[in-house]
Amino acid sequence: MSDPLRDSRFSRRKWWLWIVCSLPVWVMGRWLLVEYETTIRGFSPGCPLHRSTGLYCAGCGGTRAFFALVKGDPLLSMRMHPLLLPGVLFACAYGIARWIEMKTGRCRVRISAHTGWVLFIGVIVFGIVRNFPWWPFTLLAPH
């Protein structure tokens, strides 16, 4: 008797079922985000750092960049927040790799503590550098 979790027909059927069930959820979620964008933004308190000092934090422009990405405009998303699109792509690739690792049982994805610290320091430096008033750095500020 074969193991149903290792049977290729079972996993193929499960994969297609997951796609078919998640597609309407994704379409409805995207429609809701686009339709009620102003309402959702109305609940956002805004950035307290920007409101009190006029400086941009590392996350300023992230909400607008997210909505631009949901609407299908990656260039506007990159102008609003240059780290959002690479961050989303990295998170998706990492999630898919972990899912494949879970299904196959082979460990291929490793993120060391060193990588985490480099990413953390990179975000902090990004938050500082985007406030410089000179030309190449002004491109990092949200528009």
Listed by start position, the domains of the chain span: 36-138
pLDDT at 5 over 60: no
45 burial (CB, 10 Å; 0-12 / 13-18 / 19+) is exposed
Strand stretches in 15-106, DSSP E: none
Task: Tell me the residue length of the chain.
Answer: 143
What is the spatial distance between Cα 32 and Cα 22, in angstroms, rounded to a whole number? 15
Confirm whether pTM is higher than 0.75: no
Dump pLDDT digits (tens) for 98-128.
877 777 777 677 777 888 899 899 999 999 9
Q: Work out the pLDDT band at 12, boundaries 50, 70, 90.
A: low
